Amino acid sequence: MFEYALSVMIFLPILAGLALVLFPLRGQVARTVGLIVSIVILFMGIEMFIGFTGTSGMEYVQNTPWIESLGINYALGVDGISLLVLMAAAILYPLVFFVFDTRTKGFYGNLLIAQGAMIGAICATDMVLFYVFWEIMLLPIFFMIGLYGGANRLAATLKITIYTIAGSLLMLAALVYVGVSYHQQFGKWTFDIVQLSALDLGGGYAVLAFIMFMIAFAIKTPLFPFHTWLPDAYTEAPTSATFVLSAIMAKIGVYGIIRFVVPVFEIEFARFAMLLSLAGVVGMIYCGIAAISQKDMKRLMAFSSASHMGIIALGVFCMNVQALTGTLFQIAAHATSTGVLFLFVGLLEQRMKSREIGDLGGIAYRAPIFATFFAIAMLASVGLPGTNGFIGEFLIILGALKFSPFIAVLAGTTLIIGVCYMLWMFQRVFFEKTNEKTAEFQDLTAKEMLSFLPVILLILAMGIFPQAFIKKIEPAASQQVAKLFAMSQAQVADTAVPVSDQNNHKN
């Protein structure tokens, strides 16, 4: 890959998106442009994945001074931690353009801007740069929900915007604190994440800054109890925007914790790990149970997605290599399964003009291909072995057990809760009797089938041959865990922190 590959992946979609928004184009043209751009990014992503060597360091690095007086750089790079998140952002996008074509050019433009901003946030290794992309990410979402969403879109838009902006401001404040602390300790300015990890923070302000960072990421992820924007936003957003939000953007929250919080705030992180993991599992159980009684299919999926995010986040807090690798893997796995499920719900809505579970039934007989694809994605979402959902969940539960058996038992209930709401939904939508509405249901067209097929195959391939992915992310994960472990062990040896034994971190 050439030197500026990452910059191209960031700015090609952003510029194309801006062009779509500004120039008077027809919707079809806009869609074609979007499709071409996303396919270019797809191939760049694949090539990047293949070329990624899987050592623990940064690859495809690019570093140019940006605001020199404050040591802020335009610094990009990919390592094992960001690789799969980047892949989720780069690879799944063409689906959106392929499947749905009822939207106007503004919508396509915003979709592209969102992609560029997300790739930027994932690749940024400078905290300020990350913050900039993080904020840009929100704008297209604001427009996509606010302009093109469902009946309640205004309330939902307001909620997600206020929520995330509040989080972002907290993050900005904490970021300034981190920068100033570095300046005080080392006498120069930098926001480079590798250098910042040398910081030795302590005391009340550090805890405060840590909490502010965590709130920002917890809102985006979302972690219980900051999830309340999610059901509204996911339900009201148009399908493609829900896809972007659930499949990729939510993961950047978790990714942000791993990338920016853990290396800087080791001690605080270790101290609060128990509380945070509790928030993760409680959120998982809470949202899972809430999903059971939903009547709207999309809302059910929204709660299901929130539930899974709880367990994905849990993997970060367990502080061992199995759980962290599980989380990184599950980020990609969940992006494929949940993303596809949301798109399927969108298709269903497009055809049936309804998402009410009560209105549906017996679709499996009318649309066997659709039902099979849906079932595979659903099984991946409940973590059946052979699909990619199992590997991540298993590793996270395994790691959680090392961290705390109590948390592991709670986390394990995801196995049960997941099937409860999913099977019951599947029963009422796909099984039982066909009614006069669903009798007309059209199975996937050849075009739709061909666009979903790669993702379905990816779900299976990631489940059967996960090692191809894990071997690229595992070195970075174990390095991070080892570093975190060494730091927190050295500095809070006397406080009672539930960290794992030494012998488990040979790397």
Partner 1 sequence: MEHTANYIGLIPLLPLVGAVVIGLMHMFTCTGKAFSEKLYGALACVGPVLSFFLALVVFFHLRDLPVDQRHLTHNVFTWFAVGDLKVDMAFLVDPLSGLYLLFVTFIGSLIHIYSIGYMAGDENFGKFFCYLNLFLGSMLILVLGSGPVVMFVGWEGVGLCSYLLISFFATDTENVLAGNKAFIVNRIGDLGFVLGMSVLFWAIGSGGFDYLSLKANTHLLTPGVGIAVCLLLFIGACGKSAQIPLYVWLPDAMAGPTPVSALIHAATMVTAGVYMVARFSFMYAHFTTAGTIVAWVGILTALLSAIYGMFQSDIKKILAYSTVSQLGYMFAGVGVAAYSAGIFHVFTHAFFKALLFLGAGSVIYALHHQQDVWQMGGLKNKMPRTYMTMLIGALALAGFPPFSGFFSKDEILFMALANGHTGIWLIGVLVAAMTAYYTFRLIFLVFHGTPRNQEAYDHAHEAPAVMTVPLIVLAAGAALAGVLNLPALFGGNMVVSTWLEPSLTEHHPHMSHGVEILAMLASVVAVVIGITIAYKKFGQGAEEPEFTGFAKLGYHKFYVDEIYNAVFVQPFKGIGSVISRFLEPNVTDSFVKFATWIYRKAGTSFKALQVGYVRVYALYMVIGLSLMSLFLSQSIN
Site for partner 1 in 305-334 (CB under 8 A): 320-322, 325-326
Q: List binders of partner 1 among 213-232 (CB under 8 A).
A: 224-229, 231
User: From the list 423, 439, 457, 486, which residue makes contact with partner 1 (rule: CB under 8 A)?
Assistant: 423
Burial of 27 (0-12, 13-18, 19+ CB in 10 A): middle
Verify binding: residue 368, partner 1, rule CB under 8 A.
Answer: yes
CB of 216 to partner 1, least distance (A): 15
By CB under 8 A, is residue 429 in contact with partner 1? no
How far apart are alpha carbons 471 and 460 in whole angstroms?
Answer: 18
Distances (CA, A) of 7 to 74, 89, 123, 338, 506: 10, 15, 9, 28, 36
Q: Which stretch binds partner 1 (CB under 8 A): 3-11, 23-31, 177-185, 415-423?
A: 415-423
Q: Is 443 in the site for partner 1 (CB under 8 A)?
A: yes
Scan residues 467-486 and list those touching partner 1 (CB under 8 A).
Answer: 467, 470-471, 474, 477-478
Residue with smaller CB distance to partner 1, 320 or 451:
320
374 lies in the binding site for partner 1 (CB under 8 A): no
Distance CA 9, CA 83 (A): 14
CB of 146 to partner 1, least distance (A): 17
Residue 293 binds partner 1 (CB under 8 A)? yes
Nearest to 108 by CA among 244, 249, 302: 244
Q: What is the CA radius of gyration of the chain?
A: 22
Phi, psi of 15 (to 5 degrees): -65, -45
**What residues have CB less than 8 Å from 233, skipping those under 6 apart?**
145, 156, 157, 159, 160, 245
Among 398, 461, 492, 497, binds partner 1 (CB under 8 A): 398
Crossing angle of the two packed helices 414-430 and 266-292, in degrees rounded to 10: 30
Q: Does 433 bind partner 1 (CB under 8 A)?
A: yes
**Stretch of residues binding partner 1 (CB under 8 A), selected from 35-43, 233-241, 290-298, 342-350:** 290-298
Instruction: Work out whether 81 is an interface residue with partner 1 (CB under 8 A).
Output: no
In terms of C-beta density within 10 A (0-12 exposed, 13-18 middle, 19 or more buried), how is residue 26 classed? exposed
Min dist CB 220 to partner 1, Å, is 15
Tell me the angle at which helices 80-91 and 321-352 cross, rounded to the nearest 10 degrees: 10
Cα 388–Cα 254–Cα 153 angle in degrees, nearest 5: 95
- Note the residue count of the chain: 507
C-alpha 188/C-alpha 162 separation (Å) is: 34
* 161: contact with partner 1 by CB under 8 A: no
Single residue of 215, 369, 461, 497 touching partner 1 by CB under 8 A: 369
Tokens describing residue 374: 């849906």
Contact residue for partner 1 among 62, 104, 372, 491 (CB under 8 A): 372
Region from 13-21, 78-86, 90-98, 364-372 binding partner 1, contact rule CB under 8 A: 364-372
* Binding-site member from 29, 162, 180, 439 for partner 1 (CB under 8 A): 162
User: Using the rule CB under 8 A, is 379 a contact of partner 1?
Assistant: yes
Determine the interface stretch with partner 1 among 91-99, 207-215, 249-257, 425-433 (rule: CB under 8 A). 425-433
CB 457 to partner 1: min, Å: 12
408 contributes a contact to partner 1 by CB under 8 A: yes
Q: How many residues bind partner 1 (CB under 8 A)?
A: 72
Q: Which is nearer to partner 1, 325 or 451 (CB)?
A: 325
Rounded to a whole number of angstroms, the minimum distance from the CB of residue 500 to partner 1 is: 9
Question: Which residue is listed with tokens 């609060």?
Answer: 272
Kindly tell me the burial class for residue 35, based on how many C-beta atoms sit within 10 Å of its own C-beta (0-12, 13-18, 19 or more): middle
Minimum CB–partner distance for residue 379 and partner 1 (Å)? 7
